[in-house]
C-alpha cells in the first residue's frame, strides 16, 4: 500500500510517498530555516504563510519522484498535532482537499508518533540496517518535545510516556544557548560542530534533575547558566572559549538524556533503545548512547539523520500502518497544538510526583 504523507507542523513543509513496509519511495523537505534565521527562532505567522507557498509544489514533487499520481496512492496521512496551529492547518487542509477530490481515505497522525516510528523507515540507498522489534524504550528529543517512551507497538494506546522535560525541550535549549552565545539558528547542528573542538571540563555546568529515581528532564537551568555567564563576561571572544562553552553545555545535556534513557530501559526490562527527533542527529549523543548501551548490554537503534529531523516519510509510515489495517479518520478531524499521547510529567516547578 502506497501512502502520501504530508507534514507542516513547524518549519518544514514536507511530503513523501511511503509504503506500509516503511520503504520510502520519495521524500521532499522544504526547510524554512533561512526564513526564520534572522529572528533566531520560528515565527509562527511566517511559517504558515511559507507553508502555503510551498505545499502544492512539495506534494507534486514527492509524487513525481515516486513516479505516481494521486491515482497511484491508496491513502493520505497528515500531521494533525502537535505543532503550530496555522502551520498544521495548511498541511491538513491540503490533505483533506486531496482526499475529498480523489475519494481517498485519510488518517490524522500525531507528529510524536511519527518521530517514534521513524526508526522503521528504509530507503533504497540504506545498507542493511537492522530494525528493532517491539517493545523498546525511545528517547524523543526535538525542538518542541523531549521525553522517554515505552513503545509496545505503533498505536497511540501502545505508547506510554515514562518521563518528559519539565521545562525546555533539549533542542530548544541548544537553540537558545546558541542564540545567547551569538551563533546562528538552528543552534543544534552548530553547537554539535563547535563542541567537537572544545574542552567540556572548562565550564563544569551542574547536571539537572540528577535524582536517581526521576525520569524527568530539566534544561532551563543549563540554558540560564550560559545566559548568566554571557551576562557577566560578555559573549565568548575566542574560538576556544566558544568551543569550550558549547562542549560543556552539550556534555551535560547529553549525559542527562543518556543516563535517564538507559535507566528507563533497564527498569522497563526491554532490550532495545531507540533514539528519535532532531537532537538524535547530535554526534555526541549518538556516541554516548552507543557506549552506555554497550556497557549494560542493551542494543541501540539510531535512525539516519534524514529520519531524525522533521520529515513526511515518518508521518506517511505511521499513517500507512493504520490505513493498511482498514482504519481511516472522519475528514472532519481537527488540529491541536498538543500531542494525543498521554502525558504524565507536570510542567513547571512545584512538587514532583514521587
Q: Is residue 261 a contact point for Zn ion (CB under 5 A)?
A: no
The site for ligand KG4 (CB under 6 A) is made up of 10, 142-144, 171-172, 174-175, 186-189, 192, 277-279, 281-282, 309-310
Closest distance to ligand KG4 from the beta carbon of 36 (Å): 11
Closest distance to Zn ion from the beta carbon of 244 (Å): 30
User: Which residue is it, cell 554571557?
Assistant: 230
Distance CA(185)–CA(294), nearest Å, equals 33
Distance CA(297)–CA(153), nearest Å, equals 22
Please say which residue, 307 or 345, places its beta carbon nearer to ligand KG4: 307
- The site map against Zn ion for 126-145 (x = CB under 5 A) is ----------------x---
Please say which residue, 99 or 164, places its beta carbon nearer to ligand KG4: 164
Q: Which does 186 bind (CB under 5 to 8 A by kind): ligand KG4, Zn ion, none?
A: ligand KG4
In the DSSP assignment, the letter for residue 81 is E
Distance CA(55)–CA(192), nearest Å, equals 31
Please say which residue, 50 or 310, places its beta carbon nearer to Zn ion: 310
CB neighbour class for 142 (10 Å; exposed up to 12, middle 13-18, buried from 19): buried
Closest distance to ligand KG4 from the beta carbon of 282 (Å): 3
Strand order in the sheet with 24-31: 24-31, 12-19, 2-7, 75-81, 106-110
Closest distance to ligand KG4 from the beta carbon of 310 (Å): 4
User: Which residue is it, cell 493498511?
Assistant: 324
Please say which residue, 8 or 142, places its beta carbon nearer to Zn ion: 142
CB neighbour class for 331 (10 Å; exposed up to 12, middle 13-18, buried from 19): middle
| Radius of gyration of the chain from its Cα atoms, rounded to whole angstroms | 20
Please say which residue, 51 or 251, places its beta carbon nearer to Zn ion: 51
H/E stretch holding 222 reads helix 220-233
- The site map against Zn ion for 285-314 (x = CB under 5 A) is -------------------------x----
Residues that bind Zn ion (CB under 5 A): 142, 310
Amino acid at each position: 500500500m502506497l501512502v502520501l504523507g504530508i507534514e507542516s507542523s513547524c518549519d518544514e513543509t514536507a511530503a513523501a510517498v511511503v509504503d506500509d513496509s516503511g520503504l520510502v519511495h520519495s521524500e521532499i523537505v522544504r526547510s524554512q530555516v533561512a526564513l526564520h534565521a534572522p529572528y533566531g527562532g520560528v515565527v509562527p505567522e511566517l511559517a504558515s504563510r511559507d507553508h502555503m507557498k510551498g505545499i502544492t509544489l512539495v506534494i507534486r514533487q514527492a509524487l513525481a519522484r515516486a513516479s505516481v499520481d494521486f491515482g497511484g496512492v491508496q491513502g493520505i496521512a497528515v500531521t494533525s498535532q502537535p505543532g503550530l496551529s496555522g502551520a498544521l492547518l495548511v498541511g491538513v487542509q491540503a490533505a483533506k482537499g486531496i482526499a475529498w477530490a480523489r475519494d481517498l481515505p485519510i488518517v490524522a497522525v500525531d507528529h510524536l508518533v511519527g518521530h517514534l516510528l521513524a526508526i522503521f523507515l528504509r530507503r533504497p540507498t540504506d545498507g542493511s540496517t537492522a530494525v528493532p522489534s517491539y517493545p523498546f524504550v525511545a528517547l524523543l528529543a526535538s525542538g518542541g518535545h523531549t521525553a522517554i517512551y515505552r513503545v509496545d507497538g505503533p498505536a497511540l494506546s501502545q505508547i506510554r510516556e515514562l518521563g518528559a522535560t519539565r521545562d525546555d525541550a533539549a533542542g530548544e535549549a541548544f537553540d537558545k544557548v546558541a542564540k545567547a552565545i551569538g551563533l546562528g539558528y538552528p543552534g543544534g547542528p552548530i553547537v554539535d560542530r563547535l563542541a567537537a573542538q572544545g574542552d567540556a571540563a572548562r565550564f563544569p555546568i551542574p547536571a539537572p534533575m540528577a535524582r536517581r529515581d526521576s525520569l524527568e528532564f530539566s534544561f532551563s537551568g543549563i540554558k540560564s547558566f550560559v545566559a548568566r555567564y554571557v551576562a557577566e563576561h560578555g559573549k565568548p571572544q575566542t574560538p576556544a572559549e566558544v568551543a569550550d562553552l558549547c562542549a560543556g553545555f552539550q556534555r551535560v545535556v547529553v549525559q542527562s538524556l543518556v543516563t535517564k534513557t538507559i535507566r528507563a530501559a533497564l527498569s522497563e526490562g526491554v532490550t532495545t533503545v531507540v533514539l528519535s527527533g532532531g537532537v538524535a542527529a547530535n554526534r555526541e549523543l549518538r556516541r554516548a548512547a552507543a557506549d552506555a548501551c554497550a556497557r549494560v548490554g542493551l542494543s541501540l537503534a539510531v535512525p539516519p539523520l534524514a529520519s531524525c529531523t522533521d520529515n513526511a516519510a515518518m508521518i506517511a509510515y505511521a499513517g500507512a500502518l493504520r490505513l493498511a489495517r482498514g482504519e481511516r479518520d472522519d475528514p472532519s478531524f481537527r488540529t491541536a497544538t498538543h500531542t494525543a499521547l498521554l502525558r504524565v510529567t507536570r510542567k513547571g516547578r512545584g512538587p514532583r510526583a514521587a
